[in-house]
Structure 1
Amino acid sequence: MELAYWIVAALLAVFYLYAGGKKVAQSQEQLQPMMGWVDRVPMPLVRTIGALEILGAVGLILPPLTGIASWLAVAAAIGLALIQVGGIALHLSRGEARLIGLNIALLVAAAATAWLGTSWL
């Protein structure tokens, strides 16, 4: 279970560091081709989502790695799952049901990470 946690958590962390970093660092025009929803969401909220994704990625790795407050890894995984619930709701509100596949995969991966974390942390 521990190995499974590290594999899934590492993959999620890499994804969220990349996606969150883009949301924090790039302009709305730069994000638009990859994330069409940024035209309907205020940029401060996009930046906040990006920062939360980066914090979630760090929270998946750092606490269990250091052994300090390992329960934060489970909280980070739950937080990342909630971000995906919001992403699914946003896509559905825009009539983009065909685009929720990645959100569902990330939601399942985050939920699995939370579950795996509770089994050994």
Structure 2
Amino acid sequence: MNLVLWLAAGLLAAVALLGGVTKTFVPRERLAAVHGGGWTGDAGAGFVKALGILELLAAAGLVLPAALGVAPVLVPVTAGCWILLMAGAMITHGRRGETAFVLLNLVYLALAAFIAWGRFL
């Protein structure tokens, strides 16, 4: 079970890292032109960068506390925060009619729920 939780956390951390780097360092106009990034055209640049920074923090929070043995309770707390972030992403993509992205965010949400459940035990 521990191995599966580590794999899930690593996968979700990779997703968060990729999304965080993209939202933080790629210009909003360029993100808006990419499939699935149209929502960034309706959001302020500061908001998009703030989400990117939150995703970078989530990537660190899903792995580092348990790996370093420092405050490992932060892993399920981070997973819980990721659940809230994915709920917002699902609402945003749902309003835009992007069903595939809603389903993808649902998978990420379920993965985070599994991590939160498994690490709180």
Q: Please indicate the TM-score interval, normalised by the length of the shorter structure.
A: over 0.9
Q: C-alpha separation between the residues in 2 aligned to 1:98 and 1:55?
A: 26
> Which aligned pairs between 1:33-52 and structure 2 lie closer than 5 A?
33-34=34-35, 35-52=37-54
Q: C-alpha separation between the residues in 2 aligned to 1:58 and 1:98?
A: 27
RMSD: 1.2
How many residues end up aligned between the 2 structures?
119
Q: C-alpha separation between the residues in 2 aligned to 1:111 and 1:24?
A: 25
Selected match of 1:94 from 93, 96, 120? 96
> Which aligned pairs between 1:1-121 and structure 2 lie closer than 5 A?
1-32=1-32, 33-34=34-35, 35-119=37-121
Deviation at 1:90, TM superposition (A): 0.9
Q: C-alpha separation between the residues in 2 aligned to 1:98 and 1:10?
A: 23
Q: C-alpha separation between the residues in 2 aligned to 1:22 and 1:99?
A: 17
Q: C-alpha separation between the residues in 2 aligned to 1:64 and 1:103?
A: 24
TM-score for the superposition, normalised by structure 2: 0.92
Counterpart of 1:36 in structure 2: which amino acid? G
Q: C-alpha separation between the residues in 1 aligned to 2:40 and 2:9?
A: 26
SS in 2 for 1:49: helix
Q: C-alpha separation between the residues in 2 aligned to 1:93 and 1:41?
A: 14
Q: Which gives a bigger RCO, structure 1 or 2 (Cα 8 Å, sep 6+)?
A: 1
Question: Which sections of structure 1, spanning at least 5 residues, go unmatched?
Answer: none
Q: C-alpha separation between the residues in 1 aligned to 2:65 and 2:100?
A: 36
Identity over aligned pairs, percent: 34
TM-score for the superposition, normalised by structure 1: 0.92
Counterpart of 1:45 in structure 2: which amino acid? F
Q: Is the CA contact 1:77–1:113 (under 8 Å) kept in the aligned structure 2?
A: yes
Worse-superposed segment, 62-71 or 26-35: 26-35
The structure 1 segments of at least 4 consecutive aligned residues displaced by more than 6 Å after TM superposition are: none
Q: Is the CA contact 1:4–1:116 (under 8 Å) kept in the aligned structure 2?
A: no
